[in-house]
């Protein structure tokens, strides 16, 4: 059996004293399967700067299907 990547999303955690707990999570779907970590980090930093937030965390979320191995 093997895994086949079916979709990816990214979750950014932004920090700002204005948020109730000081943190806010935002998720974005349809992340390219060949997206590079530094590119995703740069996107998070850009969004954070537009909101006057800090980028506290970035998590890549992957969904993978289990498929039978090709013979």
pLDDT one-digit tens code per residue, 9-65:
999 999 999 999 999 999 999 999 999 999 999 999 999 999 999 999 999 999 999
| Alpha carbon distance 33, 55 (integer Å) | 22
33 has which bridge partners? Answer: none
Q: Please tell me the pTM assigned to this model.
A: 0.87
What distance in Å separates the CA atoms of residue 32 and residue 26, rounded to the nearest whole number?
17
**Per-residue pLDDT, 28:** 98
Q: What 3-state DSSP class applies to 24?
A: strand
pLDDT at 71 over 80: no
Backbone φ and ψ for 48, nearest 5 degrees, come out as: -60, -45
Record the tokens describing residue 57, joined without a space: 């965390």
């Amino acid at each position: 059996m093997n895994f086949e990547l079916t979709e990816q999303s990214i979750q950014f955690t932004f920090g700002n004293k204005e948020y109730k707990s000081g943190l806010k999570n935002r998720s974005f779907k349809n992340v390219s399967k060949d997206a590079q970590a530094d590119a995703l980090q740069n996107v998070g930093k850009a969004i954070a700067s537009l909101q006057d937030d800090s980028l506290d965390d970035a998590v890549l979320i992957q969904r993978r299907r289990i498929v039978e191995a090709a013979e």
